[in-house]
Structure 1
Amino acid sequence: MGSAETLKGRVQHTLRRLAQNREAARKSRLRKMAYVQQLESSRLKLISPAGLGIFISSTGDQAQSMNGNGAMAFDVEYARWLEEHNRQTNELRTAINSHAGDIELRTIVDNFVTQFNDIFRLKAIAAKADSCQILSGMWKTPAERCFMWIGGFRPSELFKLLLSQLEPLVEQQMDIYSFQQSCQQAEEALSQGMDALQQSVSETLANGSPSSSGSPGNVANNMGQITMAMGKLGTLEGFLLQADNLRQRTLEVMLQILTTRQSARALLAISDYFSRLRELGSLWPSRPRE
């Protein structure tokens, strides 16, 4: 009799736990839907004429770019993204500390990754307005920009965080090291491409024939060089997209290798690292000086 009652109690406890997990997953999906709707609204703002800094005259026959508006819109959307990112980081931390079940944790991890990837979509839209602004990371603090690589974090840094924060990953070690090597090779190829682009633009600007300052020939020559350089600089957007794609791909593969609980801890470690980096950037200007 006692054994049957014990079994019944365990079953009821399991059913309650499953119901709690389903309710948590439902609430998480609702939050995700609300955030996706907000993101879509932000995306429409960014690609609108006003968001991209384009003025259309009342006659409809004139369009003019106004520098900075697209980047300013991105700054606003980044601040909103960061606020939501911090909220989801706290949710992930709470789930880990409370030893949430794998089903609930998987839902939180998936939502976290979706929200994390949203910044890449926002960057891609903003890069069309001003790729130089996104490449230089002007939405970040000067200290944060010191650690940037082609408009964001260096993907291979994720592996260092992973290996330092998680327990020995014996079963996944070969997969991790293999992909880490591929990631570093892709980084090197993109870095070499950026170096070649910078050299090409510099050579284009430097190779003009000298002429008297202010003469018609000099003005025409300068404009020709600048036009060519701008054409080459236009490929920056492609480098930004490739670098962000590598960042996304690295995170995706890393999470495929790890278990749900390992993924949760890895994402929390990554988020905490970038949070400390932002804090460093905000405190750096007010550091003690002798």
Structure 2
Amino acid sequence: MADISPRTDTSTDADTDDKNMRFQSDQSLAMLGSDTSDKSRDQKTLRRLAQNREAARKSRLRKKAYVQQLESSRMKLTQLEQELQRARQQGIFISSSADQSQSMSGNGALAFDVEYARWLEEHIRRINELRGAVNSHAGDGELRIIVDGVLAHYDDIFRIKGDAAKADVFHILSGMWKTQAERCFLWLGGFRSSEILKLLIHQLEPLTEQQLSDITNLQQSSQQAEDALSQGMDALQQSLAETLAGPPGSSGSSGNVANYMGQMAMAMGKLGTLEGFIRQADNLRQQTLQQLHRVLTTRQSARALLAINDYFTRLRALSSLWVARPRE
């Protein structure tokens, strides 16, 4: 038993050492695993930070490009204004009505664009004057004079468009003198009176029952007149298409040439009615503004004119933003 005891102690010490070594090994593996996990998390964090930095860099680049495009659009607008000013100085714009007709016949589209730009500039000045009077609570007498001036200025653009339609009815009908967003809502060279009245009903509250009834009736009658003019335009287009199609003829024959010339003469006659459609549409717009003014009080009329202007101003601003939008 004395011989056995030392061997037993030695065996126990060896087992303890083995356990200690295994425990230390397990601790080392655990620490190594923990380090590996931390490194993995650090790598994910670094990747995420790098992705965020790249996204922020791209966002800054897009914003910079957007600002540059806005500045470019502003410069183009300034250049256009300078060209219009030079055109006036060179005599392209002529104020007298007699010389205006002659200028229109020479270059109707350009002359009208210059006229419209000048009208719009004066319109904005009058609207700013009206807005200042409303905000400062000007008296009814002063406000009435400004409102009447704005309405009379609307009469000017209808007259200018009528003269331009005689020279180039397609230019007025296409609305190329308007911005892109305005052209989206264009109807026979201008706005739809019925749509404007729908917008105003909610912006002019409170209205009396009689005013609300009058405006609703005015909106309905405007809609009926617009529908009638639209149907007339559709019928004209259909008739014009049938005239241009014409009966078939033998190629190169004298009869076919005469038939062709007859078709063109008939088509030209039908195109002449386009001017009448433009004039009737503008008359409807003009009468709608005048009747609305009679239904409303002076201050309500002022608010209505400001609301109409704000609507078209937003359309022009939308067009500018659309043109300057980032393109990736």
Give the TM bin, normalised by the shorter chain: 0.7 to 0.9
Q: Give the conservation status (yes or no) of the 8 Å contact 1:43–1:125.
A: no
In the alignment, the residues of structure 2 paired with residue 143 and residue 107 of structure 1 have an alpha-carbon distance, to the nearest angstrom, of 32
- Partner of 2:22 in structure 1? none
Instruction: Flag structure 2 segments of 5+ consecutive residues without an equivalent.
Output: 1-92
Bigger helix share: 2
The structure whose Rg is larger is 2
Q: How many residue pairs align between the two structures?
A: 235
- Partner of 2:76 in structure 1? none
What is the 5 A alignment of 1:198-237?
Answer: 198-212=237-251, 214-237=252-275
The Cα shift of 1:288 comes to 2.9
In the alignment, the residues of structure 2 paired with residue 42 and residue 289 of structure 1 have an alpha-carbon distance, to the nearest angstrom, of 45
In the alignment, the residues of structure 2 paired with residue 208 and residue 45 of structure 1 have an alpha-carbon distance, to the nearest angstrom, of 44
- Partner of 1:169 in structure 2? 207
What is the 5 A alignment of 1:96-107?
Answer: 96-107=134-145
In the alignment, the residues of structure 2 paired with residue 71 and residue 209 of structure 1 have an alpha-carbon distance, to the nearest angstrom, of 36
In the alignment, the residues of structure 1 paired with residue 183 and residue 254 of structure 2 have an alpha-carbon distance, to the nearest angstrom, of 41
Distance 1:283 1:217, change over 3 A: farther
TM superposition score normalised by structure 1: 0.77
Question: Structure 1 residue 52 and structure 2 residue 105: aligned?
Answer: yes
What is the 5 A alignment of 1:33-112?
Answer: 41-48=95-102, 50-53=103-106, 69-112=107-150
What is the 5 A alignment of 1:235-246?
Answer: 235-246=273-284
The Cα shift of 1:182 comes to 1.0
Instruction: Flag structure 1 segments of 5+ consecutive residues without an equivalent.
Output: 1-38, 54-68
Aligned residue identity for 2:266: M
In the alignment, the residues of structure 2 paired with residue 211 and residue 278 of structure 1 have an alpha-carbon distance, to the nearest angstrom, of 52
- 203-212 vs 97-106, which moves further: 203-212
- Partner of 1:160 in structure 2? 198
Match of 1:179 among 215, 218, 223: 218
Aligned residue identity for 1:269: A
In the alignment, the residues of structure 1 paired with residue 308 and residue 146 of structure 2 have an alpha-carbon distance, to the nearest angstrom, of 15
The Cα shift of 1:137 comes to 1.2
The Cα shift of 1:46 comes to 2.2
- 117-126 vs 280-289, which moves further: 280-289
The Cα shift of 1:96 comes to 0.7
Aligned residue identity for 2:162: A
TM superposition score normalised by structure 2: 0.68
Q: Give the conservation status (yes or no) of the 8 Å contact 2:94–2:100.
A: no
Q: Give the conservation status (yes or no) of the 8 Å contact 2:201–2:212.
A: no
Q: Deviation digits for residues 39-70 of structure 1, max 9, x if unmatched?
A: 9925333212x3312xxxxxxxxxxxxxxx01
Question: Structure 1 residue 135 and structure 2 residue 173: aligned?
Answer: yes
Q: Please give the secondary structure, in 2, of the residue aligned with 1:273.
A: helix
Q: Give the conservation status (yes or no) of the 8 Å contact 1:46–1:74.
A: no
Q: Give the conservation status (yes or no) of the 8 Å contact 1:46–1:70.
A: no
Q: Please give the secondary structure, in 1, of the residue aligned with 2:145.
A: helix
Q: Give the conservation status (yes or no) of the 8 Å contact 1:143–1:280.
A: yes
The Cα shift of 1:215 comes to 4.7
